Amino acid sequence: MMYTRHYKYLRLYGYPVFAVFLNLILILLNSDESNIKGWKFYNNTDFVIEGLFCLIFTIALFETGLWLSKIINATSALKKTGSLRFIFKLLLHILIVSVLVILFFNIDFPQKYGYNDLVVRRALIIGFIFSILITTGFTAEELLIKWNESELEASENKKQALQSELNALKLQLDPHFLFNNLSTLTSLIEENQETAVQYVTNLSAVYRYVLSNRNKNMIVLKTELDFIKEYLFLYQIRYGPSIVINITGETHNLNKFIAPLTLQLLIENAIKHNSFSTTAPLIININYQNDWIIVDNNKSAKFTKEPGEGIGLAHIYHSYKLLGDTIPVIHDLETTFEVRVPLLNN
């Protein structure tokens, strides 16, 4: 595949240009008095013929290099020995080009062309020099392609590892949330059946959203915000005015994308790690602007750590690591905790 991908442009444009360049070199090298006298007997056809000779020489130089690269690189015995493969390829290239040059000058050309032993030696030297350059060039290209392929493979492996780690984190998110809500539902059934029915409705909507979107890597911000409203109802039933959540932002950002469950995890993280009451409520602000969604809350840390600490933030970090170069930014200050999450384009 590597040998047919773009060499058509080299053959179409590169060979003629190189042939002209080679012809100029030969003219400069052979511009002694005897050759200049011979050119007086040249007609236009003779100049064209010499130009064709240079084109044939060019084709021989490059096609030999391409052919050798294809054959030698396919030889299993030489695949793992890069330096040996290069030397072997170079020596064969020089040998084949030298044989072709000698065979060419064994043809009986008219005297006016002035193809003497000096011209033959000069042609052999030129063939030697360009064989080195061409073989080196093709070898460098092969190394560059292999390096790019290894980089792509490493990137793909890293992406797969991140996806596997992300899937493992997803499995850890649901049980804690489910147990808390079932506990709340149990007390509601005893105290207020009408509210319990509404609670179950919202809880089922939340889990329907979670199950239908957990395997997606991106979701529209507006859809996530609509989900958050149903999700917040569950916490409002549990905690009442102890939690205050403000949502503001620029309308044009609603069509951008975020990783699914990002806002749920940030809200849950704030609730899990802070103490709050009706007199000292937990205030969570969600603001989407300037290609970021910013979630911050006032801090009132609990004395005891909750189980599963760090899972939510790790989930968000790995989600965005998988989606692109920009990752969330966390500012853990003395009185506030802020997470800035990039808004994504599809």
pLDDT (tens digit, 9 = 90+) per residue, 152-179?
888 777 776 666 565 655 544 455 666 6
Q: List the one residue out of 341, 316, 329, 326 whose CA is nearest residue 217.
A: 316
Band of pLDDT at residue 4, cut at 50, 70 and 90: very low
Helix boundaries (H) for the chain: 7-9, 15-29, 33-39, 44-73, 82-105, 117-191, 193-213, 221-239, 262-272, 311-323
Cα distance between residue 346 and residue 337, in whole Å: 29
CA distances from 137 to 66, 146, 180 (A): 11, 14, 66
Cα distance between residue 266 and residue 256, in whole Å: 18
Residue keyed to tokens 């949502």: 247
The answer to whether the CB of 299 falls within 8 A of the CB of 274 is yes
324: Cβ–Cβ under 8 A, 6 or more apart, which residues? 342, 344
Specify the DSSP element, H or E, that contains 307: none
SS3 200: helix
143-147, 222-226, 277-281, 309-313, range with the lowest pLDDT: 309-313
Band of pLDDT at residue 197, cut at 50, 70 and 90: confident
Q: What is the pLDDT of residue 164?
A: 56
What is the arithmetic mean of pLDDT over 273-293?
Answer: 92
pLDDT digits (tens, 9 = 90+) for 207-253: 788 778 767 778 999 999 988 888 888 888 888 899 999 999 988 89
Q: What is the pLDDT of residue 342?
A: 93
Q: List the one residue out of 29, 51, 262 whose CA is nearest residue 129.
A: 29
Q: List the one residue out of 134, 122, 121, 138 whose CA is nearest residue 94.
A: 134
Q: What is the pLDDT of residue 337?
A: 94
Cα distance between residue 114 and residue 199, in whole Å: 101
Q: Count Cα atoms within 13 angstroms, Cβ side, for 342.
A: 15
pLDDT at 306 over 70: no
The pair phi, psi for residue 287, each rounded to 5°, is -130, 125
Q: What is the pLDDT of residue 237?
A: 82
pLDDT at 299 over 80: yes
| Per-residue 3-state assignment (H helix, E strand, C coil) for 240-294 | HHHEEEEEEECHHHHHCEECCCHHHHHHHHHHHCECCCCCCCEEEEEEEECCEEE
Cα distance between residue 214 and residue 196, in whole Å: 26
What is the arithmetic mean of pLDDT over 29-42?
Answer: 60
Which tokens hold the place of 89? Answer: 């390829």
What is the arithmetic mean of pLDDT over 83-93?
Answer: 84
Q: What is the pLDDT of residue 104?
A: 84
User: Which one-letter amino acid corresponds to residue 310?
Assistant: G
Band of pLDDT at residue 326, cut at 50, 70 and 90: confident
Q: What is the pLDDT of residue 2?
A: 44
Q: What is the pLDDT of residue 108?
A: 80
What is the arithmetic mean of pLDDT over 126-138?
Answer: 86
Radius of gyration from C-alpha coordinates of the chain = 37
CA distances from 107 to 67, 114, 327 (A): 25, 13, 70
pLDDT at 85 over 50: yes
User: Taking the C-alpha atoms of 121, 122, 125 and 131 in order, what is their torsion angle to the nearest 10 degrees?
Assistant: -120
Q: What is the pLDDT of residue 257?
A: 92
pLDDT at 76 over 70: no
Q: What is the pLDDT of residue 3?
A: 45
Cα distance between residue 78 and residue 281, in whole Å: 72
Residue 345, Ramachandran bin (φ over 0: left; ψ between -120 and 50: alpha; else beta): beta
